[in-house]
Structure 1
Amino acid sequence: MIIFILKKPVIRIGNKHFDSFWIISSLGALLILILGLLPIKVLVTNLLTNNSLNPLKILVLFISVSLISIILDECNFFNYIAVKAVSLVKGSQYKLFFILYAIIAILTVFTSNDIIIITFTLFICYFTRAAKINPIPYLVMEFVVANTYSMMLYIGNPTNIYLASVFNIDFLEYFKIM
């Protein structure tokens, strides 16, 4: 599967191009079901369970946030905010870097690293283009900050939620440990 992701295979139909990296993972999931490694009854039960680990709820959350980001992007919201941010800091990359660091850190603690990465990646791409600077340091900072600060509360990362649930760690106990 990794080879297919790295090679970025594309299916061409006429003059249309479609990414096909999703085909391998879908075939793998189908193979697991066909070989009986995961009974369909267990799959359906786990997909429809009403608890915090329900994968459909998590998927709906990610798709919703992605759609909001796409809509904001289509409305030029990220571009507008990026241009304003660059003008407010008067071109200082250091000010912009540390202000962005603080905003991402604070928001990650109270939301989720995935939500922050989905929304802020577009913003970073726009403001680095507006400022004519290299986006790589800002993107790396975003990923490091979001993943680091998501450890503080167990709501900050789906993995934290899963592990806290499996080991019966409540919210305050998790917070004290972290």
Structure 2
Amino acid sequence: EETRSIPLLSYPFVRHIKSERPGQGGAAQGGATLFLSELQGETKILKLKNLRPQDYANYSCIASVRNVCGITNKNVLFKLSNKTASPTIKLLVEDPIVVNPGQTVTLVCVTSGGDPTPTLTWVHSADELPKKSVLNGGTLTLPAISIEEAGVYSCVASNNVGNPAKKSTTIVVRGKALEV
């Protein structure tokens, strides 16, 4: 009978601190009450509560399988400062937007807060964005819109701090009235 072992994946959170003593530095492991980490599926989330000025530091998560099968460690660094904040956004459009088929529609979404700077993406209802759409930063342009492209368009901002911010608008494309 063959036995296989699956390498245990470990990914501790580490806070990088500066030592008060010259020539000494290091990292504090997440055993203190400051660190609350939880698993959501295969995602490990670090929650920091009751922050104090000394808690503003660089944090990293190191995923390790102890170099098994040639898999190297992966490291992600996050800098927490007193400016760190979850994203906030504004839509610079009306809601709803009512247009005729063939018109060009431009949707503008801007970040109004968040550090690090949030990344903006657009999503259309539950579908992909139309193939002919043009995305430039927070601006989504829908050239020659069709009735099939009507629906709810949402701008989503994320920066891995707190929950992503989401604002939506509905595009109504005029079409033939239904015959009864």
- The TM-score, its normalising length taken from structure 2, stands at 0.24
Q: Counting strand residues as a fraction of each chain, which structure ranks higher? A: 2
